[in-house]
Amino acid sequence: MTTTQPSIIESAAVNKPDRILAKCRQLTAWAQKLPRCFSSNEQAVKALPEFDESEFILAVVSQDGTQLEYYHRDFDDPNVPALSDGIEGWCQILEVHGSLQHAVGIRQALLLAPPNGNTKPLLEAVPVEQKKCVVISPGCLTVYSRNDASELKPVLLFTGSFISTSVNQLAGYLGTLHSDLGGHVNNQTDRLPSQGKFMALWNANLKRKASRLAKAVIDAQRPQIYHDFPENSKDRQSVNGRKEFLIDAGHGSDQRCYLSPEGFVRPITDRSILLMHTGQSNAGIHPAGGPISGVIKTPYHILTPNDGRGTRGLMGTVPRGPITDIALLDEYVWLPLQSVVGAAASTYLAQIPKDQEWPQIIVRSEAIGGQAFIGNSQFPRRPGLHKNELGERAQCFKNLISTAVQTVKVAKEQGAPVEVIYIAFTHQEADRGARRESYAELATNFFKDVEDGLSHLNIPVFWLLDQSPGTFRDSSWQARLALKDLADRFPNVHLIQPRYPYPLHDTTHWSNRAKALYGEFLGRAIWDLEQGNRCAAISPIHAARSENEIRIRFDNETSLVLDETYFPAPPANFGFQIIGPRQRASIQQVRVISDCEISIQLDRVPRDDMGAALGIRYAMADLPEDKRVTGWAAGIGCLREERGFPSLAFEGVTHHPWVPAFEIKGL
């Protein structure tokens, strides 16, 4: 028996297992579905004209249904077979059975291909010290893991993922593909990497997926081209050769519009609002699943610069050319993206009384992923959001200024000058290690430099901040608390809302639904700001301890609510923690005792010498692995106001003001 085991394993082992299994891990994160099947190459060729240029992969099923061949259209990667070729084995996840948690560690697992298709003797020959193995076959890939009885049992199955007449050919092909595309596994996020050809492949596949699965919806969401007056228009006139008319511009409000030479419906207005978004990847540049149908309900009055980058902006790259016009918002113009500012603009317009003329709202992000305020000139991928350590302005900072200046210029030339500039600011993750005072100073310098760069426009600038919820595992960042300090210090800076009520797409980025929801809240906040109503988030204004009870009073407008039902797994003690001395007391109960006050009951009276160190934190937890909740950040809490307003995009959803994370010491 000792002589046969090695030979069985050796004959079944697949070359380049690390690369192949890394590719498997990436595909579990990618989670693509087979979009179209054809019974022959001829059918695929006939269907080719129906596909957009970005839809570059086709699937062909053989007559007996056992073999798949994958092709592309107009794609220049030699590792992906062209339609005229017959290379098999392009890897595509069709169905996943079992928990993807079992994919963790498969890079170190034994990768085996049964020579005769019989897996039983192969599994019996796997050495006991191997806790996990992966078996690849023409029809599927199966992950086996040892149970308590040390038996290898199937725990995860990918069906229809690896189809080829030759397993060795497939294995070698996958290894080559993975290597040539420059891929690797990101152990923290299990997402596709962001460099090289893989990003180009990923972007194209996102476009392809959106185009196939929601083509009709997408077409309805994109700006429509008309050759004559729109059918639903009225009070039609031709003014100096231009077609003008009244049309329902959204939310049942009739607005005066005209037909542009290109055939687009454009607003007739004499004023503009510029709404920008800056910060890190959560500031409107991470795709997070693409746009959601029905979020933008005002298609004619939301516009964006015409440089082909949509709302996503330049992301820290050098502009290819100037902004010469303002185009209608199209969230599919480049990489399909659900923007925050687009949803905010649509919600803002919905607040305007129906008998009033709407302004046009120009929206744009100028942000860059993963950047602290101060970059490092020694590392090309760390340019910084503001500047580098030598004091040289970062390209993203330059883009924020130049995009705003050029947009203001074009809007003025077109007879709709910009009256106000709002800048939504979404940051903190990259500077999570900064002290509270340091982060406030960095942000202050950034805000000041931006305002100096725009001062010659003589247009008021307002900063609208959202507080990061942390990541899926940690949130005890002092930088999060600095936002309240900034809002207290500057009259044009407002802390709008914490981000923790909104779900995550992965471990750090908020989801497309989250961006749409926060966008709605932001749009309502901008309207409230303009009307002189409160737009700022709730804050504690007084805290005191008597014996073993701590009472905290807030500046809310309606009754406080401890909402136990909003989150799938509410945090312990509704998000409140005791901090301070080692032998600190623990929380027994948290309750609302009046419209604006909560009571926190401790299990004992702290010693007198503890008072100076004892403190309370809210929504600032760091979670061990067994306490983390998929789809939610660590820094959540259950305290909100009773008042709210209904979502315009999501039926049955009500927006509420939530209490941002805070910390009170010296109790």
Cα separation, 367 vs 372, in Å, equals 11
Strands (E), 468-594: 493-498, 540-546, 549-554, 560-562, 576-579, 587-594
Task: Copy the structure tokens of residue 628.
Answer: 């983390």
pLDDT at 172: 31
pLDDT in tens, 547-581: 999 999 999 999 999 998 999 888 999 999 999 87
Got the DSSP string for 28-75? Answer: HHH------EESSHHHHHHHGGGS-TT---EEEE-TTS--EEEEBSS-
Compute the average pLDDT of residues 170-182.
30
pLDDT at 112: 75
Cα separation, 294 vs 564, in Å, equals 29
| Topology of domain 269-531, CATH | Rossmann fold (3.40.50)
Task: Copy the structure tokens of residue 33.
Answer: 């579905």
On whether the pTM is more than 0.85, the answer is no
Q: How many CB atoms neighbour CB 50 within 10 A?
A: 9
pLDDT at 201: 33
Helices 478-489 & 436-454 angle (0-180, nearest 10): 50
Q: Are 342 and 331 in contact (CB under 8 A)?
A: yes
Residue-range domain boundaries for the chain: 269-531, 539-665
pLDDT at 203: 35
Q: What is the DSSP letter of 663?
A: E
The long-range contacts involving 290-294, CB below 8 angstroms and separated by at least 24 positions, are 290/206, 290/210, 290/336, 290/337, 290/338, 290/512, 291/221, 291/331, 291/332, 291/336, 291/337, 291/338, 291/339, 291/512, 292/338, 292/512, 292/513, 292/516, 292/649, 293/214, 293/217, 293/220, 293/221, 294/649
Average predicted confidence (pLDDT) for the chain: 79
Got the DSSP string for 613-646? Answer: T-EEEES-----GGG--TTS-S----EEES--EE
Amino acid at 168: N
Does the structure show a pLDDT above 50 at 210?
A: no
Compute the average pLDDT of residues 5-33.
47
3-state secondary structure of 157: strand
Which residue intervals of 455-581 are DSSP H helices? Answer: 478-489, 512-530
Judged by average pLDDT, the poorest of 319-328, 366-375, 378-387, 519-528 is 378-387
Alpha-carbon dihedral sign for residues 380, 384, 390, 391: positive
pLDDT at 563: 95
Q: What percent of the chain has pLDDT over 70?
A: 71
Which residues have a Cβ under 8 Å from the Cβ of 200 and sit 6 or more positions away? none
